[in-house]
Amino acid sequence: MPISSYTNNSFVAPYSSDLLSGFDIYKPEKLNKLFRVKGDQGMSYFMLLKSLGFETAVARDLYSHYEEMLIHDTVPVNAQAGGAAGATVTLTINAAGIDVINGVNRIFPRLWDTILFSNGVTASVVAVNVGAATFDVRPNVSGDSIPATSLAEEIVVISNAFSEGSDQPSGRLAGTKQYTNYLQIIKESLNATGSEMTNQDWFDELVDDSGAGKKILGYVMKGPVDLDYRLALSVSNALLFQKATTNTITDGTTNRAIQTTNGLIPEIRTDGNVLPYTPGTFNIATFDDIVKIQDAEFCGNDIVAFLGIDLHLEIENVMVDYFKETEIGYTVANVFKGDEGLAMSVGFKSFRKGDRTFHFKRMGSFSHPKIGGAPGYNYRNMGMFLPIDMRKDRSTGDMIPSIGCRYKSLGKYSRKMETWNVSGAGDGMKVISNDLANWYMRTHVGAHHIGLNRFVLLDPQ
């Protein structure tokens, strides 16, 4: 057809935007990485115990050990008026100083013990009434007077003195204390449908604070990573905060009682040394008080301090001169047995004072905004000062750390960590008819602590 036949027709060219948008042809700038901006989110205590190897197997839900009490003791007495010069005074032993075994009193003072009073007066025990829990004391110097005593005042026994040809005294045995705790069953689960497992997500890599990445296939496959975290956090929190269950709490499905462990903080509150502390008032004298308590309790040379962030910063500001010369070489050699990699992963900050080396560790769970750092909670200002040493279990010969956790195990079966899946979707054998994949984790663990009398809690609560 001749071109001239179209001369009366008009054409309108389409705008390019009608065919294609510039927003469609450019690849979106979405990084295929999921950043873990919240780090380990506070599960550090359990992971620290694992790093240090402070885990011990036990074959019973209830476990215990015996601790030797002081071989030499003081005598707590009730309030009593003082005596005249050279006069005998009868002192009554306070209830805290009386052990009743099979209905019979056991007391520390013996006939012819020598007593030192706080004012320097010494006296001999000239009579003892075990049934009445009293003893008579007479000054060694005729011009001295027995001073007045206050309620629960502790009187010191320094020695004994006998006449020539006299009989032997009754024997003494150092007492023992039984420490008991319980294992706790902790569980976590993850469930996903088969369809969800095949949905592809944009990001395929997890990136932590250090920049290290871990490949994942779809967001649901991130679930097992989170499962690890949830279980570790639950264990860490139980080992720190949990109280042993004495109330009646029964699972209606199994008709069995729920059993929980007794964590570190409740145990120190019960059997350790608690120093009330007002946030913002930490000073060198506070630290010296902690040193003196642990010296009186014959602690070893290495002390670990678990601190909330506010207290940690406060201590750093007060003791900045000490931190300038840290004992890193000593720490690696003694605490980590020369393993520099392990020392770096644990991240203690150490210094030496009062003939002891203190290793500071900030507690993530004390700052976690959904745990110890939640509004109204004051764990950010809390600190625990604990000996980090090993004690021998006389029944097994094993060296047991002062802090740690126990896990249920017998023979080849260990319940320290069990993971398994029951699925009707995904790779592998299908064992259920549902179009679901289920991942399960379970652990059976409990806290243990040796020598709680050596533990100090700086308590802002």
**Number of C-beta neighbours around residue 71 at 10 A:** 9
pLDDT higher at 391 or 406: 406
Which span out of 254-268, 344-358, 417-431 was modeled with the highest average pLDDT?
254-268
Dist CA 155 CA 115 (whole Å): 7
Is residue 23's pLDDT more than 50? no
Q: What is the pLDDT of residue 110?
A: 92
Q: What is the pLDDT of residue 130?
A: 92
Is residue 12's pLDDT more than 90? no
Q: What is the pLDDT of residue 35?
A: 41
Which span out of 39-48, 96-105, 198-207, 303-312 was modeled with the highest average pLDDT?
303-312
pLDDT higher at 116 or 196: 116
Query: Could you tell me which of 268, 266, 273, 269 has the C-alpha nearest to residue 297?
Result: 273
Band of residue 265 on the pLDDT scale cut at 50, 70, 90: very high
Q: What is the pLDDT of residue 299?
A: 83
Band of residue 28 on the pLDDT scale cut at 50, 70, 90: very low
Q: Supply the pTM of this predicted model.
A: 0.70
DSSP-derived secondary structure for 179-228: EEEE-EEEEEEEEEEHHHHT---S--EEE-TTS-EEE-SSGGGGHHHHHH
Band of residue 42 on the pLDDT scale cut at 50, 70, 90: very low
Q: What is the pLDDT of residue 33?
A: 42
Q: Are 290 and 281 in contact (CB under 8 A)?
A: no
Q: What is the pLDDT of residue 85?
A: 96
Q: What is the pLDDT of residue 170?
A: 82
Band of residue 455 on the pLDDT scale cut at 50, 70, 90: very high
Is residue 114's pLDDT more than 90? yes
Is residue 331's pLDDT more than 90? no
Between 115-119, 250-254, 359-363, the lowest mean confidence (pLDDT) is in 359-363
Residue extents of the structural domains in the chain = 31-71+174-461, 72-172
pLDDT higher at 87 or 39: 87
Band of residue 433 on the pLDDT scale cut at 50, 70, 90: confident
Query: Could you tell me which of 81, 77, 87, 80 has the C-alpha nearest to residue 144?
Result: 87
* CATH node for 31-71+174-461: 3.90.1690
Q: What is the mean pLDDT of residues 414-440?
A: 81
Is residue 233's pLDDT more than 90? no
Dist CA 459 CA 273 (whole Å): 10
**Number of C-beta neighbours around residue 94 at 10 A:** 18
Q: What is the mean pLDDT of residues 159-182?
A: 83
Band of residue 311 on the pLDDT scale cut at 50, 70, 90: very high
Dihedral Cα 345, 349, 352, 357, nearest 10 deg: -40
Is residue 26's pLDDT more than 80? no
| Distant-in-sequence contacts of 417-425, Cβ < 8 A, 24+ apart | 417/441, 417/442, 417/443, 418/442, 418/443, 424/194, 425/192, 425/193, 425/194, 425/197
DSSP bridge partners of 456 = 273, 385
Q: Is 456 helix (H, G, I), strand (E, B) or coil?
A: strand
* Token pair in block for residue 370: 């959904």
Q: What is the pLDDT of residue 66?
A: 72
Query: Could you tell me which of 381, 395, 168 has the C-alpha nearest to residue 282?
Result: 381
Between 280-289, 317-326, 377-386, the lowest mean confidence (pLDDT) is in 317-326
Q: What is the pLDDT of residue 94?
A: 95
